[in-house]
Amino acid sequence: MKSRPDFYSSYWGIDFILNKRLSKKWMLNGSITLQNQKRHYGDKGYTNPTNLWALDGETYGTVMNCRWMFKVGRLYQLPYDFNVAFNFRAREGWPLLEYFDIVDPTLPNPLSRDATLLIKPFGSERIKMFTDLSFRLEKLLRIGDSGRLYLMVDAYNVLNSKIINSRYDRQHGDYNVVSGLFSPDANDFRASQILSPRMITFGVRFIF
């Protein structure tokens, strides 16, 4: 067992961060992230060249991979000890694979009787952009000289967006070279996670 020669992954990223502290009754913080990660096989860094054309020099990582992210949050102090705040997030969707499997039951190795064939370069398709907006309204009640009671209302997914967070890959199915039959995959491109619908919570915070 040894490390693969020529194989390596490359990553670059840059963050822009804005932070405005609370003054004159408002505050704001936000950030923008630009990044990318790729894998490189070189001349000797692979054991099977079948899908090399779709992987070499392409995006690396199937989940938690987005080339850009953006978020911003703001709080404003209203009259009569009311505070209002929001938080907005957006990011590029995760990449998807598209492929099918070829199965040959007559092959001599029982542990290797199938092969996966990619149809297009990895990272060339992604699920739709993710966005989310949350909101908070709170009221301050002063108790004595130093006590403070906050009554809070939080709303998540304010726009009630039905955004798909993740999907199964485009795994079209299996082709059996002996029978000549193609068996479609039941989870082909099926949504596996969706953003939770709008939710409202109530809370109390006490400081003394």
Q: What is the pLDDT of residues 11-52, one digit of tens each?
A: 999 999 999 999 999 999 999 999 999 999 999 999 889 999
The predicted structure's pLDDT at residue 145: 81
The predicted structure's pLDDT at residue 184: 97
The reported pTM is 0.84
CATH number of the domain located at residue range(s) 8-207 in this protein: 2.40.170.20
The predicted structure's pLDDT at residue 36: 93
pLDDT of 114-152, one tens digit each? 999 999 999 899 999 999 999 999 999 998 888 899 999
The predicted structure's pLDDT at residue 1: 67
pLDDT of 172-184, one tens digit each? 999 999 999 999 9
Weakest-pLDDT range from 54-68, 93-107, 157-171: 54-68
Q: What is the DSSP string of the chain?
A: --PPTT-EEEEEEEEEEEEEEEETTEEEEEEEEEEEEEEE-TTTS-S--TTHHHHTTSB--SSS--SEEEEEEEEEEEGGGEEEEEEEEEEPPPB--EEEEEE-TTSS-TT--EEEEESS-TTS-BPPPEEEEEEEEEEEEEETTTEEEEEEEEEESTT----EEEE--EEEEEEETTT--EEE-TTTT-EEEEPPPPEEEEEEEEE-
Assess whether pLDDT exceeds 90 at residue 163: yes
